[in-house]
Structure 1
Amino acid sequence: MKAVRVVDEIKEFVVREIERPAMPTGAVRVKIEAAFLPPYFEHLPEGSWRTPPRPFTAGQCAIGTVLETTQGDSPFRPRQLVYCDMYIQGSGSEADHGFIGCFGLTPAASRHLAVWPNGTFAEEFVGPEQCFTPIPDGVTAPPEILCRIGWFGTALAAFQRGGFKPGMTVAINGAAGLLGASAMLVALAIGASQVRLIGRRTNLLHELAGLDRRIVVEEAGDKTPIDFVLDCSGGEDVAKTETLAERLRRFGALTFVGALTRRASFDTSALMRNSNSLVGSFWFPHAVAAEVLSLIASGALDLSKIRAECFGIENIKTAMEYSVQKSGGLLHVALKP
């Protein structure tokens, strides 16, 4: 079968014909319908990340159709449409988490990635049963749109971990990115009274603001009090994050899902007096995917404005360049075998 591979001594993706992956006990095999291609994937072949043993098939969140399982009592059945989550970890409290077909966050993740090295950028994907979530009948969005579920799930888990309550005023820092725009839609779906957008690409922010009267694009120097900050930003600009923390109402929370590369400074005395929380949130438990799908099925999470640019596996180089240059806001890139 055809697959996008990461191989030794080549610092870019290559397309190869490989054998169908084997089926370990507890595995599910799916035919890939569409896989999400985030812009940061351009760095995966370069060799600086803690990846599965090379060669391996790259991959991220995907939608697939079940072909077979190894367990007679499996909850999955042939021809069933499922969401494929690449997140993998052990059952204890040790930091050993990572993503199949991508990277591990700690050395301990290597043992999982050695067992499950190959991701979804292929005609078929084989993964552990816990990584799959059925798509309910009420969800009608096409696979190339649904493959973004991981970004909605990341946002939903961050709101849950930060103690979000309906009616809160939410600020999203880094709102023009794929995660920030996804978080905005999730905030509306779970009952935010207002969503305030902060980001560099103002054209995308104003496009997002046109979706709902509850969305506001903040101007420089805005001091509107807020209940919840979701920080999706990356890079070295910590000033916005520090200022947003100072605008939190009492009992408000700032939850980090981005990757700032500089240390931020906070007035811990003020945080203490206001009972504010600073919370880190990485990815989400597998069960959250079903919650996202329930929001979609109910109509609360509206995907009608999300757009996907689709490319075939054989066009991975063009697809990757397009994702880096164009992804953001409501637009993402999907691979379709």
Structure 2
Amino acid sequence: MSVEITLYTKKATKTSLVKFLLENGFQKIKHFIEELNNTNALHYIWYEFENYQSSSGVEATIQKISSEEQSNYQCSEWILHTRTRSSASFEDKQKQNEIIRITRRQFGGSFYNDWYGTNKYINLDDYPKFSPLEKSLSIISNNATDKLEKLKDCLEGYQNETSDIISKIEHDFIKSLIKDNDPSIILYNSLIPFLVSVIEYFFSQSFYSFLKYDPSCRENITSEKIKIDISEVLNINNNKNTIESIVTKSYNFQNIESINKAYKRYLNIDIRSVLSCKKKVDSKIFRVINKLDEILNARHSFVHELDINYEINKEIYFGYLKTIEVIIELMLAEFKTKNLNIEYNKY
């Protein structure tokens, strides 16, 4: 779903509308439907990356309409159509209102909002406004979960003829002798680093966001003692690097102790305490912190020693994958105790 607002201008030309959109921060784009890229429809988008203001941006199309439509709407040959997606941020909706308002002021005419009616702007009270920290944590957690879900979709229907034959061998001794020929074992071992990448991404990027946007975390940075090369100082001065990024990189987010050290110092969150609870995954109950330690150790052994775990199978790997989902949920619940509103789309 989306909110679409069409302005039927009184005195606009294609050239004047193009100039106007460019002056107001819009960029020329191609429509994903190739047939809609023609001389009668020019497509633009506004997207603000700073402080996660946009989640999908504002789409704008300069359209040429027929003489009959001009007569019906009492408007110019060229009109402006705008659209924001249902997932768009408060700031995206605010920008859509703004661009229609100033376009109308400059070119005249009336507009139709498909949600609110004729000459009615979007009621921004209908949309929640999130802080940069809340938006960043929402994006990070949803991105991590989305990648896990896509991997799960890939593996759900995975089958291998050799693996199936070996699994049907009834004699355990014979099975143990030939299981190193099972290609699924290599597959699941090689995919453990993927899970650790998701762990590292979630913990490091969440930590970075707190450093950048949380006042108490920013205050703690002043007490941080890190040696910084002159080249990095110059990068900071030239906006090519940030203190928050340097502090984040000083911790290893593939190591529980390092993660815990960072989070306790800046966020006052004890990772071991948060993840010490027991959870049930696929009828098995385990302590989350122990399972996380198992995943991290498995990745280290595989990457650095090419140590293959010949006991791993689809069930075990999916247990690892679902453990990462549980970890994200537990951490988000902890973040929310800090009065943060996080939009998490659990699958």
TM-score (normalised: structure 2): 0.28
Task: From the CA coordinates, give the structure whose radius of gyration is larger.
Answer: 2
Greater fraction helix:
2
RCO higher in 1 or 2 (8 Å CA, sep ≥ 6)?
A: 1
More strand by share: 1
TM-score scaled by length of structure 1: 0.29
